[in-house]
Amino acid sequence: MSGKIEAFFREFPFLQELFTQHGKERVRSVRVSRIDHEFLERRVSLEVFPLFGDVVQGSAESELLLVLDQDGKTLVQVGIKELSKSSWWKRLWGCPGGYWEFPESIGEAIMRCDGQRHAHYVVSFRKGDLVLYKPPKGSTIQNWVEEQTKREREVIHTEVEKIDAEAQSHRQ
């Protein structure tokens, strides 16, 4: 394992614990990235099978996306909804372990955390690439998204006012 990867796991020890379960040796690259609206609007859908505990994994091409709290505990897995684990679901839908894939955006998955501890991180793992998405220090994802949404509304409002002013000047 490279020095950068080891330093990354020391900086974020909860990821070391999580990825020990996933096979830390499969991690080939790591980085930290800021959460933005484009990221939150990305849609994910998986064909799933149980991996371990409450985490399910899709095919090797699939991206594993987990929403974590500030302690690094998994709140939800993006694109996975837990259904009744009774055997009739398995027989009816062929649904392994009571889980079912469904397309959702990363932002929608974060909203499913409402009422639970606040989402602090989103972890993406695909083809050996591990990315930790996070809001600025001292902020939750929900607060960061609200702030970004407010800024985007202000930009749109300014653009609309500019267009209206241009239209008004052409009428005169």
Candidate ranges 35-49, 57-71, 153-167; pick with highest mean pLDDT: 153-167
**Cα–Cα dist 4/12, whole Å:** 12
Q: What's the confidence (pLDDT) of residue 23? A: 63
Q: Which domain holds residue 108?
A: 3-171
Higher pLDDT, 166 or 139: 166
Residue 65 near residue 122 (C-beta atoms within 8 A) = yes
Token representation of residue 36: 């933005």
Higher pLDDT, 68 or 94: 68
Residue 131 near residue 31 (C-beta atoms within 8 A) = yes
DSSP code, position 103: -
pLDDT score of 62 more than 80: no
Higher pLDDT, 68 or 93: 68
Higher pLDDT, 50 or 153: 153
Query: What average pLDDT is seen over the chain?
Result: 76
**Cα–Cα dist 15/71, whole Å:** 10
Query: Based on the structure, what is the number of domains in the chain?
Result: 1
Across 59-63, average pLDDT:
58
**14 half-sphere exposure, CB direction, 13 A CA radius:** 14
Helices (H), the chain: 3-11, 13-22, 37-41, 87-93, 106-111, 141-171
Q: What's the confidence (pLDDT) of residue 115? A: 54
Rounded to two decimals, the pTM is 0.70
The answer for residues whose C-beta is within 8 angstroms of residue 55's C-beta and 6 or more apart is 21, 64, 66, 74, 77
Q: What percent of the chain has pLDDT over 70?
A: 71
**Cα–Cα dist 156/150, whole Å:** 10
pLDDT score of 59 more than 50: no
Summarize pLDDT for 117-160 with one digit per residue, the tens: 688 899 988 888 899 999 888 887 878 878 888 888 999 999 99
**Run of H or E including 25:** none
- CA distances 39 to 35, 65, 98, 144, Å, are 6, 12, 28, 13
